[in-house]
Structure 1
Amino acid sequence: MSTDIAQQSVVAAKWGVISSSLKFAMQLAVNVAIARLLGPDAFGLFALASIGLLVATFLSEVGLGWSLMQRPALDDEVIRFVFTWQSISGLLGFALMSGAAYWMADLLRDPRLVEVMRWLGLCCLLNGLAATATNLLRRELRFRDLAKVQLLSYALAYGLVGLPLAALGYGVWALVWAWVTQALLGLLLAYRARPHALRPKWSTTAPGEFVNIGFTVLITNLCNWALTNLDRLILGRVLGTQAAGYYAVGYNLATVPNGLLISGLQPAFLASGARLQDEPERLARGYLEVQYLIWVVLAPLFALLAFVGADVIAVLYGEAWMQSTPVFMLLALAMPAYLAWALSTPVLWNTGRKHWESLLQLPILLIAGPVLYWAAGQSISLVAAVAAASFAVRAIIVMGAVWIALGLRSTEVVSLGARSSTVGLLVVGTAMLLGAAATAFDWAPWLSGSAKGLAGLAAWLLLIWAFPRLLGQPSIKLLLRFLPVQWTWTQNWRKRATSGHS
């Protein structure tokens, strides 16, 4: 049973990573193209409207869909009950977006938000209708099918609607109709992949269990939303849509890889972890492997991104968007903490501590609010610095709680930090050396940035290939489960990585 779960989890995680990688490539291309076509004002207007959409989406989903992943067993009665109330809450989310449109427009001092938010409200209804099928796919660890749904809906929505409308001069409405189209296609494709009963059912056995889980998810999501979006909301009110547009580009470029990794890995970790609630030692080993992967393998890449941040913005978006550079650099440095936090929270849920996530983060929210408001009066760079610091504090607090809950040794923290720092310094140091050479020879900016990035990436790959034991055994064990065993180079790497270890 445990072996089956482990194998299913690895397959699910692989498809999560594949889906995330492909979607990142598509989103990067689309975001760059649309940002160049629309400019900071329209891009910022949509970014502010989408903040309200996230709140309404949380309220429309109510967290009932997540209860499907937590229950040991399901039947059609339960699925019908969840679908019925998810649909009703989706309709309420649509009504909320319509009703709150004037309030958001007044708060952010931009009347254009009214119509944009009203039409975006359709996404709440469509997402509410799709939530049951989507979460059933997650529960069953069918991440290959889920990847197809997400990739196809995104590609069609932006390829056929978003980009053509942006090129034709429709401004913010190109993004609005792309989002609505993606939500509609996501509903149809998810239901096609995982059909379920549609007949309404208003009650079920032990409804309090669903209400309890749903309410906890709702409160947790709202708390997470506030900590993740308060910076943009305050910035929009204080400095307007143009500043919000510059901030949104830097923010999105830094967080999109993380968001996709989280959407691919967190549900797999939550669903598989729910089946390992009675095996705390295996859950602890799995958690430690994930954290080593984040801090030792991935964190150096985010540090490299931050180092070449100005070159990335200049090459992708052009000189008109250079005000986004400090935002991107600061938040890229904070992304490992964001990822570590997000992949720690499922452990709290799977160890009977589902209320801890929101309770631990409320003090951070209370402090971050006034500090962000002060920072917005200074510059968007200072807002990004405060947001990055809040990500780091969240990770430290939540990871500390998980570390204690799982009984992990404090020495692992020292090992994790030492290995992460060593790999990061070697990767960024290599890029810095080539950057100094580029300055001496007066290379073109695009050539200098590309050379620094490729040098750092080459150093990262060389370290993993030639010195695998530097990564630590938890990282090695996780990577070995993902690498194809039939390849000769994988077998050679395995021998070097595991020599001297059982």
Structure 2
Amino acid sequence: MSVLHSIKWNYLGALFKGVSQLVVLAVMARLLKPEEFGLMALALVTIKFGSYFSDFGLSAAIQQKKEINDTDIQASFWFSLIAGLLFCLIIYFLAEPLSLFFDTPELAPVINIVAISFILIGVSATPIGLLKRNMQFKFLSIVESISYLISNGVIGVLMAYYGYGVYSLALAYLSQLLFVFVASYFKTRHSIRINLKISDYKHILTFGGGYSVASFMSFIGSNIDHLLIGKYFPAAELGIWNRSRNIISMPSYNLLVSITGVLLPAYSKHQHDKQQFSELYIKSLVITGLFLVPVAGGMFAAAPQLVDVLLGKNWQNAVMFVQISALFVPIEMLASVAATACSAIGALSTQIRIQTLLLSISTPIMLYFALQQKLELILITLAVYYWLRFFIYLFVFGKRLEIRPMVHFEIVFSQLMGAAWVGALIYLTAHYCWRLNAFQLLPIEIAVGGVGLLTFVIFGPAKRVREIIRSFLIARKTSNELNTIARTVLKKGY
């Protein structure tokens, strides 16, 4: 299966999952309080903090290693399982101290429950890595979408409706992990024979350890806001921020995972061919940014309607938070495309140094603002951190692959122009249709934004996007009529 074909299936799965998540978000926001979302956000930060080391990057190692055998798979599975059990026990016994640290007594029982996720994440790492290695993204997309609907859309919503509060979120999270593990294991049916040979663990732990540290540094940058807000602000504030950021990050993250999940094994296959690797990297940056950045521009303009529809009238304070999220979440995700490429060529140490430097500068600034109770300034500092990280990644990685700076500038400029165009169209739509309520206006804004993005791709400064679409249609051997339309409509242009 080709890289572009795999990305297509991941895009479709991400689109379905993103829409499902937003629907579930809208329902749950009306059944639960902001404080309960804040508690779950704190619990998940704690869990994710350890999961980067319990997984130890072994899923990525399974994808990256040029050749694997049963002993590699056995070593990966048993190491992940044992590490998951160990971290489950550690976090379980740390639940009380963590609740004291965040001054939130209600947090301890939630952490005790979601600590089970370490085991599920551990046993899932190997089968998921094998599925991604074999480019079985259609299957993964279907499994993730169905498991999300069952666990969150059915189990979570029913439990919330019957008054289980934050525990409805915790049980929905665990059930989703369980469904994904069961489906992925029965698809791969890999060997689970116990392997005690130390030599078989060498490669996967060497690569996996470096990948895990790099991912952990990304995690710190992605969650420093949750840690500081959870520590120095009420749980309700964290709940509002978490839901606001999720409105932007849920569809963005799903699209990102749909791309990077395909790219790591694809990058690894071309890691010794600089020209092919560079072409694949540029295409991935173009394809990812085509949706992430313009869509975020549209969501910035439609923030009041998004909050009304997805969260409800009681969440009006979230409008500003949604707009701040729209300013940096797409850039956070785009930086991950470069980070994935760094992982494939073994440049993890460079990635770790960049993130360590930026975090050592930005974290004290955000801590100062947290002590001053300046929530907006914490978030603005976070946005600056992500933009700096993105541009440094482009510079360092471009130099390593001998990509001219103007290539990166052209790609980023095109995406920002797309965001400005889509955002302006949606803003004007809201301005001239002010008599409509949010439920009437939002579908119109989505339609206008979609048409705006399409016209931008056809007529705007999006030459690289058009070239990729044309090459994809030709490679797929589509009908002569479709190829004629593609060549006519998708001209070289700007």
The TM-score with structure 1 as length reference comes to 0.92
The answer on whether the counterparts of 2:232 and 2:373 sit within 8 Å (CA) in structure 1 is no
The yes-or-no answer on 1:370 pairing with 2:371 is no
CA distance in 2, matches of 1:25, 1:452: 16
1:132 counterpart residue number: 126
The DSSP-based 3-state class of the residue aligned with 2:348 is coil
1:337 counterpart residue number: 331
The DSSP-based 3-state class of the residue aligned with 1:18 is helix
Deviation readout 1:366-411 (Å, 9 max, x if unpaired): 1222222233333433332222222211111112211111111122
Structure 1 residue 481: Cα displacement: 5.1
Deviation readout 1:29-87 (Å, 9 max, x if unpaired): 11221121011011111111110011121121111222111111111111111111111
**Structure 2 counterpart of 1:305, one-letter code:** M
Match of 1:323 among 314, 317, 322: 317
CA distance in 1, matches of 2:222, 2:301: 23
User: What is the total number of aligned residue pairs between the two structures?
Assistant: 490
Match of 1:45 among 39, 48, 59: 39
CA RMSD of aligned residues (A): 2.1
The DSSP-based 3-state class of the residue aligned with 2:490 is helix
Structure 1 residue 329: Cα displacement: 0.9
Return closer, same or farther for 1:267/1:457 CA change in 2, 3 Å cut-off. Answer: closer
1:64 counterpart residue number: 58
CA distance in 1, matches of 2:136, 2:290: 28
Match of 1:476 among 442, 448, 466: 466
CA distance in 1, matches of 2:56, 2:416: 40
Match of 1:113 among 84, 107, 113: 107
The DSSP-based 3-state class of the residue aligned with 2:19 is helix
The answer on whether the counterparts of 2:95 and 2:109 sit within 8 Å (CA) in structure 1 is yes
Match of 2:400 among 387, 399, 405: 405
Structure 1 residue 272: Cα displacement: 0.6
The yes-or-no answer on 1:172 pairing with 2:166 is yes
CA distance in 1, matches of 2:210, 2:444: 48
The DSSP-based 3-state class of the residue aligned with 1:163 is helix
CA distance in 1, matches of 2:286, 2:205: 35
1:30 counterpart residue number: 24
**Structure 2 counterpart of 1:115, one-letter code:** P
CA distance in 1, matches of 2:64, 2:41: 33
1:199 counterpart residue number: 193
Q: Percent identity?
A: 21
2:381 counterpart residue number: 386
Return closer, same or farther for 1:423/1:181 CA change in 2, 3 Å cut-off. Answer: closer
Return closer, same or farther for 1:295/1:152 CA change in 2, 3 Å cut-off. Answer: closer
CA distance in 1, matches of 2:354, 2:456: 37
Return closer, same or farther for 1:296/1:155 CA change in 2, 3 Å cut-off. Answer: closer
The yes-or-no answer on 1:431 pairing with 2:426 is yes
The answer on whether the counterparts of 1:48 and 1:233 sit within 8 Å (CA) in structure 2 is yes
Return closer, same or farther for 1:99/1:478 CA change in 2, 3 Å cut-off. Answer: farther
CA distance in 2, matches of 1:69, 1:172: 35
1:3 counterpart residue number: none
Return closer, same or farther for 1:487/1:182 CA change in 2, 3 Å cut-off. Answer: farther
Return closer, same or farther for 1:218/1:499 CA change in 2, 3 Å cut-off. Answer: closer
The answer on whether the counterparts of 1:290 and 1:478 sit within 8 Å (CA) in structure 2 is no
The yes-or-no answer on 1:486 pairing with 2:479 is yes
Pairs within 5 Å for 1:86-485: 86-205=80-199, 207-296=201-290, 298-376=292-370, 377-439=372-434, 442-465=435-458, 467=459, 470-472=461-463, 474-480=464-470, 485=478
CA distance in 2, matches of 1:246, 1:318: 12
The answer on whether the counterparts of 2:457 and 2:466 sit within 8 Å (CA) in structure 1 is no
* Structure 2: tracts of 5 or more residues without a match: none
Range moving further from structure 2, 119-128 or 442-451: 442-451
CA distance in 2, matches of 1:77, 1:400: 39
The answer on whether the counterparts of 1:120 and 1:180 sit within 8 Å (CA) in structure 2 is yes
Deviation readout 1:298-351 (Å, 9 max, x if unpaired): 412211111111221012211211111111111112122112111111221222
Deviation readout 1:410-440 (Å, 9 max, x if unpaired): 221332244334333332232333333235x
The answer on whether the counterparts of 2:26 and 2:309 sit within 8 Å (CA) in structure 1 is no
The yes-or-no answer on 1:73 pairing with 2:73 is no
Return closer, same or farther for 1:403/1:378 CA change in 2, 3 Å cut-off. Answer: same
The answer on whether the counterparts of 2:233 and 2:373 sit within 8 Å (CA) in structure 1 is no
The answer on whether the counterparts of 2:96 and 2:108 sit within 8 Å (CA) in structure 1 is yes
The answer on whether the counterparts of 2:25 and 2:311 sit within 8 Å (CA) in structure 1 is no
The answer on whether the counterparts of 2:425 and 2:448 sit within 8 Å (CA) in structure 1 is yes
**Structure 2 counterpart of 1:303, one-letter code:** G
* Structure 1: tracts of 5 or more residues without a match: 1-6
CA distance in 2, matches of 1:477, 1:232: 40
Structure 1 residue 120: Cα displacement: 0.3
Range moving further from structure 2, 455-464 or 27-36: 455-464
Return closer, same or farther for 1:335/1:458 CA change in 2, 3 Å cut-off. Answer: same
Structure 1 residue 257: Cα displacement: 1.4
CA distance in 2, matches of 1:388, 1:109: 27
CA distance in 2, matches of 1:41, 1:61: 30
The TM-score with structure 2 as length reference comes to 0.93
Deviation readout 1:112-169 (Å, 9 max, x if unpaired): 1111101101111011011111100011111112112212222221244211100001
